[in-house]
Amino acid sequence: MYHLLSGLYSEWARPTTSNVLLVGPSGSGKTALLARLRHRVAPPDAAKQLPRIGGDGGPKVKGIPPTVGQNVLDFRPPAAPSGVQVRVWDLGGAASLRPIWLRYLSEAHVLIWALDVRLWDGAGSRKEGNGKEKAREGEDSREEGWSALAAILPQLALDVPLVVCASDLGHFSVLRREALEALEDAGEESNTEEARVAAIHALEERASEAMRELREDYTKRLEGLGREARFVQGWSEGSTDELLQMLTEHAVRRKQQ
């Protein structure tokens, strides 16, 4: 009886690792997202050494070179019971590296698909010069990104959750700063509290509209393949914690199965 109980306990106490595959087109913010997750789960002393970024309290990830191969993050979720581990694979997004994704799909328990929400920012295309050309480039990039995801979905088990994480790569933060600086340069008559609030609100609406366009686009496309996804607005306050909670809950469920 002792050996039976001891064996059952050993089996229950054995660490269970939830493998998370983080992929997406090159330049879609995958490694920045991994750095934000690392910041959340790193020991306090290690976290202090990470440079900061405005918004969501994450590390500043500026000028990150494209990933060649993979980055890996192993951690025990802070809110998870003992024996629950998460491993995140961040794989390069260049077209030449995408065949590598297939090697990891069979071991993945969660798939995070990273996207650059700026491709759905129609207002940005209209305001820049050569608006039609910018719009065509954005459409081509959206199609290229979707084709990359559609190519691997048939190899992904139906019970593996798909999370679409959109990043703005600091785009809307820069626009906000520029808008406020423009009001300052315009003088006191223009730089009123009401004007500043209106400028910030307009950018928030623009960001929300881009996210709505992305969500509607991908929801419709995924429905055509019999799939669904959870969406994370990666630049919003608390988005990293939201994603970490998703990963933790899934890892805990795997441990309990």
Q: Is 25 annotated as a binding residue?
A: yes
Q: How many CA atoms lie within 13 A of 47 on its CB side?
A: 12
Q: Is 27 annotated as a binding residue?
A: yes
Q: Are the C-beta atoms of residues 22 and 89 closer than 8 Å to each other?
A: yes
| Helix (H) or strand (E) segment spanning residue 53 | none
Q: Is 173 annotated as a binding residue?
A: no
Cα(48)–Cα(27) distance, integer angstroms: 26
Q: Is 30 annotated as a binding residue?
A: yes
3 state SS for 181-228: HHHHHHCCCCCCHHHHHHHHHHHHHHHHHHHHHHHHHHHHHHHHCCCC
- Residue by residue, DSSP assigns 69-133 as SEEEEEE--TTSPTTEEEEEEEE--SGGGGGGHHHHHTT-SEEEEEEEGGGG-HHHHHHSSSHHH
Q: Is 29 annotated as a binding residue?
A: yes
Q: Is 170 annotated as a binding residue?
A: no
93: tokens are 């997004």
Q: Is 66 annotated as a binding residue?
A: no
Integer CA distances (angstroms), 162 to 72, 111, 117, 180, 246, in order? 19, 5, 17, 37, 11
Q: Is 219 annotated as a binding residue?
A: no
The residue type found at 66 is P
Torsion 65-70-74-78 (CA) sign:
positive
Cα(116)–Cα(22) distance, integer angstroms: 14
* Residue set of the binding site: 24-31, 67, 93
* Residue set of the binding site for GTP: 24-31, 93
* Residue set of the binding site for Mg(2+): 31, 67
